Amino acid sequence: MEARHNQRAHYRDRLLQPRSSMAFIKVTISLMLLYFLSVTLCLAHPGFNFPWGGNGHFGGANYGLFPQFYQFSCPQVDDIVMSVLKKAIAKEPRTAASLLRLHFHDCFVQGCDASVLLDDGATIVSEKNSIPNQNSLRGFEVIDEIKAKLEEACPQTVSCADIVALAARASTVLSGGPSWELPLGRRDSKTASLSGSNNNIPPPNSTIQNLITSFKRQGLDEVDLVALSGGHTIGVARCATFKQRLYNQNGNNQPDVTLERTYYYGLKSVCPITGGDNNITPLDLASPAKFDNTYFKLILYGRGLLTSDEVLLTGNLGNTVALVKSYALNEHLFFEQFAKSMIKMGNISPLTGLNGEVRKNCRRLN
């Protein structure tokens, strides 16, 4: 009788053992899921502070940028950005180039942190007052509209710095250019730098050496320089940015000899020797609203508008000449590199984790 009882107990224990093991596995999986969910929430919502991921760090590293940053906190972010830009660009095609340029002017000054959007304030001297930006940088109202719609849908979630990056990509796509998987998660600065804006953004009359130096300072190389210059395939420039090429390129009251003659006379008709500084002309005369590789073809024909465009060919330094020719011959190659270089530029010194803030209004601090 005792033997039979022991057999039953042994059989019962064998039946219960897998259940206990299964229960343990289920608990372990649940804890792992909770762990990874908490990490996702911490990343998507920096305000969520779980005990194992506090202080804006996880595993000893700063939160990086990644494309799915708003996957749970604001999944409609791309749709909202695209819907606003479709209307804005349809109304004024020049808007696309303006927003692309805005991203560039933001990232080259203390990183991609939306400092360029800040208006003058008690502690802020706006970068909008700098020489490269004053009466030149545009698109702020479009960023404001995107921000307002995102605040309705996802309050205090999407940073202004990410909006600028998203708007640059959408503007490129809507103009016929490439798309790219955009890393997100930037936060907004609490400072601006007027001096940084004046010193770090290369002027339109830059030499090739100045351009290479300016880009190298930001961690960008010659390939990035030439590819990103290709953004000039859309948009316009004011006469003030290239007038010296028409009348006094080298301080001898003579035009720039690298300008193709027909193009030169056409520019003179738009930009007289006195006055007309705010008159505009396309950077890419052939297809000013279409994102393509025509910009590089025009440079080869002496029809690059700015000195900083033409010196990519005539500067005789590094590999820029070979790159211009490659992109002129192969639009796919240009698109591919432009996307890579935009991602690289968008990664310049972002604020992440608990650094900076997510502004409610892109023009002022919270």
- Give the tens place of pLDDT for each residue, 158-197: 999 999 999 999 999 999 999 999 999 999 999 999 999 9
Look up residue 128 and give its DSSP letter: G
Across residues 71-75, what is the average pLDDT? 97
Is 340 among the domain residues?
no
Across residues 319-344, what is the average pLDDT? 97
What 89-92 contacts at long range (C-beta under 8 Å, 24+ apart), as own/partner pairs, is 89/171, 89/174, 89/175
pLDDT of residue 284: 95
Cβ atoms of residues 144 and 57 within 8 Å: no
State how far the Cα of 213 lies from the Cα of 314, in Å rounded to an integer.
Answer: 17
pLDDT of residue 25: 45
pTM here is 0.82
The pLDDT of residue 26 is above 80 = no
The boundaries of the domain holding residue 3 are 1-43
**Known catalytic residue: 5?**
no
The pLDDT of residue 42 is above 90 = no
State how far the Cα of 70 lies from the Cα of 152, in Å rounded to an integer.
Answer: 15
Is 89 among the domain residues?
no
Is 260 among the domain residues?
no
pLDDT of residue 250: 87
Question: Residues of 204-226 as b/e, b for ≥16 C-beta within 10 angstroms?
Answer: bbbebeebbebbeebebebbbbb
Is 14 among the domain residues?
yes
Q: Which of 5, 105, 232, 332 is catalytic?
A: 105
pLDDT of residue 190: 97
Q: How many domains is the chain built from?
A: 1
Selected residue with higher pLDDT from 62 and 252: 252
